[in-house]
């Protein structure tokens, strides 16, 4: 079987599938961070803040379980040196008056967060803010965590086929065909090679997959014709602060939520500073004025951002879907009357601003859908 996409959703899904020991897994991706021609982080997760907090991520009734499961995994990852994952204390700030205090979010009930209301006198509440919600959350430095995941794939014998161009598809049936063709055409070792380090040499190519897991994010607009999927453009800047900053601080989304300051400790003396949320904006560039305004907002919250050394700025497009995350199986008809399905596409995309918040929980459910398709004889 094949997983299409190698961002945080694709990598965690491929690892969850491989961990069953019952499924031969191949990952097909247009690029990787290592092979993108311009060196840009081609995945939304690659430049994200990696902050566990549900944000523009629906439907809530399902996100509750996915987010809780992912938090458990990330807390465990933080216990292992070198993963790039840490658990940090911080505060979600209340807006200054006359704005109302935001209600406690549903995820406040998760015990590992140690969620609590704090007032203006709390040491983590900056001057000018009336208080906020204190909690402890996981932050993944994606510069470290994504390579760790790719290394685990290599160690598990999972091939990563880098095709270097978009797959030509427009619905589930054509995606199944395109994925099969990409795997069949790739040499052993995976057209472009397996990415990550360590592990045994890749095995011979498996038979063309009859099950595809679609983890293509915003690519699903073209790959499966989902025109309910839109980008929500975000800008982040990685900086070295003028003085050490522990933990994280974020303004609460208010109004249209397009501009809010957040400052996240990513370890190694670096901060991720954001951010913006512009739905329907496909631009992958950030004008100087926009970046300057972003940093000025953040410096008003955390003074150590003022004058900080800029290491990198990045623009990402969050995959936002009108109905929320799509995690479901779609049987592909064979075209023969009364015939068995040609295969199954399991969709796992549309995670909005919460890919890193729900990835492991969604991966576990994707495995269940794949296993159900196999048991039902819908694997081609």
Give 354 or 376, the one with higher predicted confidence. Answer: 354
Show the tokens assigned to 292: 């300057």
Helix (H) or strand (E) holding 131: strand 131-140
207-239, pLDDT tens digit by residue? Answer: 445 899 999 999 999 999 999 999 999 999 999
Report whether pLDDT(201) > 70. no
Task: Write 98-104 long-range contacts (CB < 8 A, 24+).
Answer: 99/254, 101/130, 101/131, 102/252, 102/254, 104/133
Phi, psi for residue 304 in degrees, rounded to 5: -65, -10
pLDDT computed for residue 351 by the predictor: 97
pLDDT computed for residue 66 by the predictor: 98
| 86 — pLDDT class (breaks 50, 70, 90) | very high
pLDDT computed for residue 192 by the predictor: 45
Q: Is 181 exposed, middle or buried (0-12, 13-18, 19+ CB in 10 A)?
A: middle
Give the Cα separation of 48 and 268 in Å (integer).
16
179, 209 Cβ separation under 8 angstroms: yes
Give the Cα separation of 277 and 317 in Å (integer).
9
Residue 359 three-state SS? helix
Helix (H) or strand (E) holding 63: helix 60-77
Mean pLDDT for all residues in the chain: 90
Show the tokens assigned to 278: 């512009």
Report whether pLDDT(200) > 60. no
Give 98 or 212, the one with higher predicted confidence. Answer: 212
| 189 — pLDDT class (breaks 50, 70, 90) | low
Using alpha carbons, select from 217, 213, 170, 168 the residue that is nearest to residue 316.
217
Give 36 or 235, the one with higher predicted confidence. Answer: 235
* Interacting residues of 222 by C-beta distance below 8 A, sequence separation 6+: 166, 169, 170
Show the tokens assigned to 179: 């994925």
Give 364 or 204, the one with higher predicted confidence. Answer: 364
pLDDT computed for residue 191 by the predictor: 45
Neighbours of 335 (CB within 10 A): 8
Report whether pLDDT(109) > 80. yes
Q: What is the CATH number assigned to the segment(s) 2-375?
A: 3.40.50.720
Give the Cα separation of 362 and 183 in Å (integer).
24
pLDDT computed for residue 190 by the predictor: 47
Report whether pLDDT(253) > 80. no
| 206 — pLDDT class (breaks 50, 70, 90) | very low
| 184 — pLDDT class (breaks 50, 70, 90) | confident
Give the Cα separation of 379 and 210 in Å (integer).
5
266-316, pLDDT tens digit by residue? Answer: 888 999 999 899 999 999 999 999 999 999 999 999 999 999 999 999 999
Q: Report the helix count and the strand count for the chain, using DSSP H and E.
A: 8, 15
pLDDT computed for residue 31 by the predictor: 87
């Amino acid at each position: 079987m094949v997983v299409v996409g190698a961002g945080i959703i694709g990598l965690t899904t491929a690892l969850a599938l491989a961990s069953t020991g019952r499924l031969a897994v191949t990952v097909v991706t247009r690029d990787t961070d290592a092979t993108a021609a311009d060196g840009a982080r081609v995945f939304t997760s690659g430049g994200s803040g990696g902050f566990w907090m549900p944000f523009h991520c629906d439907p809530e009734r399902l996100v509750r379980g996915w987010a809780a499961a992912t938090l458990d995994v990330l807390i465990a990852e933080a216990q292992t040196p070198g993963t790039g994952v840490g658990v940090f204390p911080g505060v979600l700030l209340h807006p200054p008056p006359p704005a109302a205090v935001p209600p406690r979010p549903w995820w406040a009930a998760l015990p590992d967060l140690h969620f609590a209301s704090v007032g203006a006198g709390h040491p983590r509440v900056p001057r000018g803010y009336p208080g906020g919600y204190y909690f402890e959350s996981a932050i993944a430095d994606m510069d470290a965590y994504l390579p760790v995941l790719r290394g685990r794939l290599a160690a598990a014998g999972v091939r990563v086929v880098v095709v270097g161009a978009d797959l030509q598809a427009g619905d589930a049936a054509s995606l199944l065909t395109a994925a099969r063709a990409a795997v069949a055409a790739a040499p052993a070792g995976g057209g472009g090679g397996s990415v990550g380090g360590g592990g045994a040499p890749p095995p011979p190519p498996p038979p063309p997959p009859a099950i595809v897991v679609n983890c293509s994010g915003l690519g699903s607009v073209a790959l499966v014709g989902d025109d309910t999927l839109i980008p929500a453009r975000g800008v982040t800047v990685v900086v070295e602060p003028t003085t050490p900053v522990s933990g994280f601080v974020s303004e609460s989304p208010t109004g249209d939520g397009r501009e809010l300051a957040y400052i996240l400790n990513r370890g190694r003396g670096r901060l991720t500073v954001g951010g913006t949320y512009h739905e329907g904006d496909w631009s992958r560039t950030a004008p100087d004025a926009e970046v300057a305004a972003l940093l000025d907002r953040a410096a008003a919250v955390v003074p150590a951002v003022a004058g900080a050394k800029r290491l990198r700025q990045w623009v990402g497009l969050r995959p936002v879907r009108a109905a929320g995350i799509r995690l479901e199986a779609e049987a592909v008809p064979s075209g023969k009357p009364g015939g068995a399905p040609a295969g199954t596409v399991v969709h796992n995309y549309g995670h909005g601003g919460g890919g890193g918040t729900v990835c492991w929980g969604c991966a576990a459910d994707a495995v269940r859908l794949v296993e159900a398709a196999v048991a039902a004889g819908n694997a081609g």
